[in-house]
Amino acid sequence: MSVDIVDRVERRAPAVSFGVTTLAALVALGVLALTVRGNFVPGVAALGALLVSVAAWRGDVRWITYGCLILALALVVAATRSPSPPVAAMVGIAVALCLAWDVGRYGAALAEQVGTGAATERAELTHAGFSAAVGVGIAGVSYGLFRSFGGLSTVGTLGLLIGAALLVGSIRLRS
């Protein structure tokens, strides 16, 4: 029995990945809590963030995804509320979510491949840095375009949709 408990709480993910994942999930939760009225959305988001953090500690790839999906659901519900969170806040939450999902799963896979006790900090920091840079870059470009179109106009929406379709199409071609 005691062995089971030790097995359950033992960290199975590298420290840097766990730290970045938890921090990103907390940022997403914090921004949602600050920008949405009521307790329901922050409550759901807190559940998602907790799941993400525990799963990152345990190195459980599947539950990191489930936790992020709960956070994403909280974001969708927040968008339906009046007033909904500012656009910039929602983009920021999305970046934090993607970062938590990516880095958490990366760390779990890394630990599975080389072990929890192995020295992995440089690889983890490089990947987390890349992921954060990608998120900030995409958020900056899309928010900049949004602002330059002066909102979600029909032309702007169409342009962004075409861009997204091209992007996904190129991904499918590559794979």
Partner 1 sequence: MRKQTTGHRTDHWTGIGGVGLAGIAVGVLLESAGLFLAGLVGVGYAGVAYASVSPFVAAVPDGGTSADTLTDADLHVSRAVETRRVETGEEVRVTVTVENRGTTFYPDLRFADGVPDSLSVVGGEPSAATALRAGDDYQFTYAVEALRGTHEWGPLTVSAAGPGWTTEVETTLDDDSVLTSVPELDGDVDLPLYTDSTRGAGRLDSDESGNGVEFYGVREYRRGDPLSRINWKHYARTGDMATLEFREQRSVDVVFVIDSRRQAYLAPDEESPHAVEHGITAVRKLFDAALDDGNRAGIAAVGREDCWLAPGSGSKHRARARDILGDHPALSARPPESERFELFPPERRKTLREREVTRLHKRFPAAAQVVLVGPCCDGYVPLAARQFTALGRRVTVLSPDPTSDDSVSEGLAALARADRLADLRRRGIRTIDWDPDEPLELALIQTQKRWEGGR
Residues lying near partner 1 in the complex (CB under 8 A) are found at 65, 69, 72, 75-76, 79-80, 84-87, 89-91, 93-95, 98, 101-102, 105-106, 109-110, 113-115, 117-120, 122-127, 130, 134-135, 137-139, 141-143, 146, 151-152, 157, 160-161, 164, 167-168, 170-171, 174-175
Judged by beta carbon, residue 46 or residue 132, the one nearer partner 1 is 132
Asked whether 24 and 103 are in contact (CB, 8 A), the reply is yes
Q: What is the DSSP secondary-structure string of 47-74? A: HHHHHHHHHHHHT-HHHHHHHHHHHHHH
Judged by beta carbon, residue 23 or residue 139, the one nearer partner 1 is 139
Residue 48 sits at φ, ψ, to 5 deg, of -60, -45
CA distance 159 to 54: 39
Measured from the CB of residue 114, what is the shortest distance to partner 1 in angstroms? 4
CA distance 97 to 138: 14
Measured from the CB of residue 83, what is the shortest distance to partner 1 in angstroms? 11
CA distance 140 to 105: 25
Measured from the CB of residue 122, what is the shortest distance to partner 1 in angstroms? 4
Judged by beta carbon, residue 50 or residue 149, the one nearer partner 1 is 149
Measured from the CB of residue 45, what is the shortest distance to partner 1 in angstroms? 14
Judged by beta carbon, residue 8 or residue 122, the one nearer partner 1 is 122
Judged by beta carbon, residue 14 or residue 53, the one nearer partner 1 is 14
CA dihedral over 51, 52, 54, 55, signed as positive or negative: positive
Helix (H) or strand (E) holding 151: none
Measured from the CB of residue 75, what is the shortest distance to partner 1 in angstroms? 6
